[in-house]
Copies of this chain bind each other. A is one copy, B any other.
Amino acid sequence: MLKVKFIPQNKLIEVESGTNLLKAADQAGLYVEGDCAGKGTCGKCRVKVIEGNRGDPTDAEKEQLSDSELKAGWVLACTRKVEQNCVVEVPLQRDAYTRKTTMPGGVENLEAEPFVEKIAVKLDLPALKDQVADLERLLIKLDRPNLTVNLRELAGLPALLRNNGFSVTVVISGSRLISIEPGDTTDQLYGIAFDIGTTTIVGSLLDLKTAAVLAVAAATNPQNIYGADVISRITHASQVKGGLKQLQDKVIGSANEIIRDLLRQTKIARDHVYEIVIVGNTTMSHFFMGVDPAYLAPAPFIPAYSRALDVEASELGLKINPAGRVVFLPNIAGYIGSDTVGVILATNMDRRRDICAAIDIGTNGELVLVANGKLTACSTAAGPAFEGAQIKQGMRAAAGAIEAVSYVNGDIELSIIGNTPACGICGSGLIDAAAALLDAGLIEPSGRFINPEENPDEVPACFKDRLRRGPGGFEFVLVPGAKSETGDDLVLTQGDLRELQLAKGAIYAGLMILLKEAGISENDLDQVLLAGAFGNYVRKESALTIGLLPQLPPEKIIAVGNAAGDGSKMALASKAVRARALTTPEKVEHLELSTRPDFQDIFVNALPFRNN
């Protein structure tokens, strides 16, 4: 056994010799960035060895790290084994969720109509002339003789009644009596809405009496350690013994930390939270419930279930009232989850009579079209690039991320999140950068950098040193090493542009298929709604410039905030919205793009940047 100390978190653990640093950090409860689940291909799990355990760089390190980085002690945690006691510096986790927790949403306009009811009652005392049993005495008083009650609550009932003069408050969820509390607690009625993304988990605590959002908390989805994308995680779940349980434990653990944070912020007692309503993609739903999504990955992409699941909090180990209910809203298809149901609810797509598309770009991309009152939806393998995955210096929209790039007065201007030197580029920055370089004439509509060696005259003087040949083709220096956090140049590579093209092409092609199937064209669209944090922060003009969106007047393009999360809050706050949510999947026709013979053609046509 060897000792590893992680700084600045100051965690000391013992691991077996040969354990890699990624696993060691996980064991210490620390999160190390990474997209490729330890395959050594993304180059993002860099940590710095401060003391001990120096050794020759691994092949992956030689490929992914610069000489100066290697010299400074940076290693890739996933390829570096612990062979001596050591001290390792782990960069503080850069979470991107601030953006996701601060957007206003639709729940503010709702009238509270909670699914959970609380009723205070004072029972008549039993007597020899009135020997009705405790439970029946309570249910008769409530005039709800058929409520079910679990053994745990029943076991505590006799003493509870007698210790409180037969004055209690009951909590009812549908046909279930879930909790019986001493005295009158009707003023304490809370629920939590979760939006469980592949990358980010957000929880919102609501006062169910008023539908007011009292607190929001979020975390990076710790399943990340098993890969940034759902396919990597499904592979881990089906191929590693106990893998499914690991994935479930990660997400349940994270949800519990968010719950703890929400309760701390509001000083609300755990037992007064009676309900959790969740949206998430179909894979996240399966992992959360501990159901193997193995058959989602290969064609024909079949989930184990699509209905909403409604289970007891204690069954999942969620730390609200143990008898509280946890409702994961229904999925529409294997790659169109309840997050899309949330988008539909929050944007009223299921009730609109105009022609409107909603695009939700998270780690995956889902599209919904309503036309003539008919809903269709498809999913595209689009997302991870916009969360920073597969982009050389990509990162989530956290502190240090280049979030906006513009071409102004012949120069490139950058905006960085937070008061800190840049360390990478996030999705909105990526789109902006491509649009700006298109505007500057440095990128051809095909997506290629112009060749500065062959066409030196086309490169403005101020960009001469910045457009250069890199290890994988040409690249553009966004931030020189002198100004970056790491000391290395931050660049946009030809590879990054290709990833961006594939992602934006997939989304655009998906939209075209939906329009084609509905027998309309992009000009018929009354509105295009951009859902999700990314949709909220992306600049419409840049999205139009690179051809991510159809060429519509910008006023028709509307950012609607975190619509998926709003949907979960609305379904938590209102039983009418909840009922709508449960029937939404049957109203949506799912188009499986892989069955469309026309998809590849439309997709390839959608790859070029259109610089209007």
CB-CB nearest in chain B for A282: B133
Which A residues between 127 and 143 are near B, CB-CB below 8 angstroms? 127-136
Identical subunits present = 2
For A134, the chain B residues whose CB sits under 8 A away are 295, 302-305
Tell me the minimal C-beta distance from A157 to chain B in angstroms: 6
B-side contacts of A136, CB under 8 Å: 305-307
B133:A299 contact, CB within 8 angstroms: no
Complex interface bits, A287-312 against B, C-beta within 8 A gives 1, otherwise 0: 00111101100011111111101010
CB nearest neighbor in B for A291: B155
Tell whether, in the assembled complex, residue A294 and residue B158 are in contact, meaning their CB atoms are under 8 Å apart.
yes
- Cα-based distance from A592 to B333 in the complex (angstroms): 60
Contacts of A311 in B (CB 8 A): 151
CA distance A319 to B481 in the complex (A): 67
Q: A129-B595, A134-B305, A306-B133 given as contacts; is B300 within 8 A of A154 (CB)?
A: no
Question: Which of these, B133, B291, B294, contacts A154 with CB under 8 Å?
Answer: B291
In the assembled complex, A521 has its CB within 8 A of some CB on chain B: no
Task: Indicate whether A165 reaches chain B with its CB closer than 8 angstroms.
Answer: no
- Which residues of B are found within 8 Å of A132, using beta-carbon distances? 302, 306
A289 to B151, CA, bound (A): 7
A240 at the interface (CB under 8 A from B): no
A131 touches B334 (CB 8 A): yes
B595 touches A154 (CB 8 A): no
Please encode chain A, from 101 to 135, with 1 for each CB lying within 8 Å of some chain B CB and 0 for all others: 00000000000000000000000001111111111
Judged by a CB distance under 8 angstroms, whether A420 is at the interface is: no
Whether A300 lies near B127 (C-beta < 8 A) is: yes
A283 near B: Cβ within 8 Å? no
A594 at the interface (CB under 8 A from B): yes
Contacts of A590 in B (CB 8 A): 131
- Is A464 interfacial (CB 8 A cutoff)? no
Query: Which B residues lie within 8 Å of A135 (CB)?
Result: 304-307
- A556: CB under 8 A from chain B? no
Chain B residue numbers with a CB within 8 Å of A289 are 151, 154-155
| Residue A315 CB within 8 A of the other chain | yes
Number of interface residues of A (CB under 8 A): 43
A300 to B592, CA, bound (A): 67
On whether the beta carbons of A292 and B133 are closer than 8 Å, the reply is no
In the assembled complex, A159 has its CB within 8 A of some CB on chain B: yes
Collect the chain B residues with CB atoms within 8 Å of residue A562's CB: none
State the CA gap A527–B136 with chains docked (Å). Answer: 34
Cα distance A306–B315 in the bound complex, in angstroms: 27
- Give the residue of B133, B290, B302, B594 whose beta carbon is less than 8 angstroms from that of A304: B133
Task: Determine if A54 is an interface residue (Cβ-Cβ < 8 Å).
Answer: no
Q: Check A133 against B303 for contact (C-beta < 8 Å).
A: yes
Which residues of chain B come closer than 8 Å to A300, judged between CB atoms? 126-128, 130-131
Q: How far is the CB of A274 from chain B (nearest CB, A)?
A: 20
Q: Which residues of B contact A304 (CB under 8 A)?
A: 133-135, 154-155, 157-158
Closest to A306 in B: B133
CA A272 – CA B311 in complex, angstroms? 25
Question: Which residues in window 511-550 of A have CB below 8 A to B?
Answer: none
A331 at the interface (CB under 8 A from B): yes
B290 A155 Cβ-Cβ under 8 A: yes
User: Is A295 a contact partner of B158 (Cβ separation < 8 A)?
Assistant: yes
Asked if A128 and B592 sit within 8 Å, CB to CB, the answer is: yes
Distance (Å) between the CB of A444 and the closest chain B CB? 36
What separation, in Å, do the CA atoms of A549 and B307 have in the docked complex?
A: 61
Q: Would you give the shortest CB distance from A165 to chain B, in whole angstroms?
A: 15
Contact check, B303 vs A155: say whether CB atoms are below 8 A apart.
Answer: no
Residues from 329 to 384 in A contacting B, C-beta threshold 8 Å: 331, 333-334
Interface assignment of A162: CB less than 8 Å from any CB of chain B: yes
Question: Which A residues between 439 and 497 are near B, CB-CB below 8 angstroms?
Answer: none
22 contacts between A and B (CB under 8 A): A126-B300, A127-B300, A128-B300, A128-B592, A128-B595, A129-B595, A130-B300, A131-B300, A131-B301, A131-B334, A133-B302, A133-B306, A134-B304, A136-B305, A151-B291, A151-B311, A154-B304, A155-B290, A155-B292, A157-B304, A158-B294, A162-B295
Other than the given A126-B302, A158-B295, 4 more pairs (CB < 8 A) read A128-B595, A130-B300, A133-B304, A155-B304
